[in-house]
Chains A and B, each alone.
Chain A
């Protein structure tokens, strides 16, 4: 238990950031009109692909003969990039459709 409290104590800044950003996220999209629900979901889905940064760091830190890490990290980069690139591209297509209307 003490170990957990110590961990929280050592990460006070992170916890503060966490709380502030939760409120920021609430506020940023709180006035979204119903027609934008799906494009916003798609756009924020692309942003959730930010997890790809972790895969890049993992590959950069893997020894060049650690094939398991490299393979899984590389797979992670491919999947994450599909999420990021595909997500933004498909959001763009959806929003273009809105313009024509």
Chain B
């Protein structure tokens, strides 16, 4: 049992091969299955991996895994083919929410011995996961027609200021460490709001690009959480999704003959800019 975490290496390799095959038409279906095997193996290893301060709680883990699997299968079987992109966005939001859930608990588990670097890493996982979560929900809402496009001339300035507020609060909390009890919850709230305001001004037709970008964010949040737990498969899998998701986002923008900045900053003369580009 003590050597079981060596199997993490195998699951990392499976994830890389799976992603590679997914990017070529002839092998894509097999690639998806290989990646799924890698994920399954990683989850299995995570359950039996020898860790410090192990309390078990296997009943809860198995029940929640079962509930999540059933819900995931039901969602993916029931969805209409045309509604798949919005479902992917919803799934991505759930992944971001998972990153938020674990990092908010870890933030409250900090003690005096926690280094600045570890605190900063956890807060960045919280922030990026939070943006991926609420941003994906808005993208889902826009694709399914529940959220209308809303745009105002000040929205990109507002977003810059709000981003500075998020990072400033995180910087203050990382340095001041836990002097204000509710500050982590305030950081959580401003991060979640940033996810909303980040995606809200972007046009509904650009949502696939945004989903790909938010998917990369979830990957980065997973990688940061991997540093927190000192877990290599989370770290490598997360960065892999983070970097390949970023490149995929850029490729999708190129396919539309636009730049990523142009998509994110939104409709400010979007059509003229794309004509010029």
Which of A10, A70, A88 gathers most chain B CB within 10 Å? Answer: A88
- Interface membership of chain A positions 23-48, coded 1 if the CB is closer than 8 angstroms to chain B and 0 otherwise: 11110111111111111111111111
Q: Are A52 and B239 in contact (CB under 8 A)?
A: no
Which of B52, B106, B244, B246 gathers most chain A CB within 10 Å? Answer: B244
Give the docked Cα–Cα distance between A79 and B68 (Å).
6
Question: Across the A-B interface, how many residue pairs have beta carbons closer than 8 Å?
Answer: 355
Number of A positions contacting B (CB below 8 A): 84
Contacts A37-B248, A98-B28 given: A57-B76 contact, CB under 8 Å? no
Q: Which label, helix, strand, loop or mixed, suits the secondary structure of the A interface?
A: helix
Q: Which label, helix, strand, loop or mixed, suits the secondary structure of the B interface?
A: helix
Contacts of B91 in A (CB 8 A): 45-46, 49, 82-83, 86-87, 90
Q: Are B22 and A36 in contact (CB under 8 A)?
A: yes
- Interface membership of chain A positions 64-95, coded 1 if the CB is closer than 8 angstroms to chain B and 0 otherwise: 10001110111111111111111111111111
Q: Are A95 and B29 in contact (CB under 8 A)?
A: yes
A-facing residues in B69-101 (Cβ within 8 Å) = 69, 71-73, 75-77, 79, 81, 84-85, 87-88, 91-92, 94-95, 97-99, 101
Contact of B138 with A by CB under 8 A: no
Q: Are B36 and A88 in contact (CB under 8 A)?
A: yes
Q: Are A83 and B95 in contact (CB under 8 A)?
A: yes
Contacts of B237 in A (CB 8 A): 47-48, 50
Question: Residue A28 contacts which of B20, B118, B215 (CB distance < 8 angstroms)?
Answer: B20
Contacts of A92 in B (CB 8 A): 29, 32-33
Give the docked Cα–Cα distance between A97 and B64 (Å).
31
Additional pairs, 10, CB under 8 Å, beyond known A31-B24, A50-B15, A76-B101: A6-B117, A25-B241, A28-B244, A53-B233, A55-B101, A56-B47, A82-B68, A90-B75, A93-B77, A97-B81
What are 26 A-B contacts defined by CB distance under 8 Å? A4-B120, A17-B236, A18-B223, A21-B243, A24-B243, A36-B22, A36-B28, A41-B245, A41-B252, A42-B84, A43-B18, A47-B39, A48-B92, A49-B91, A53-B226, A56-B46, A61-B51, A63-B55, A70-B60, A73-B105, A79-B94, A80-B68, A81-B68, A82-B91, A85-B69, A96-B29
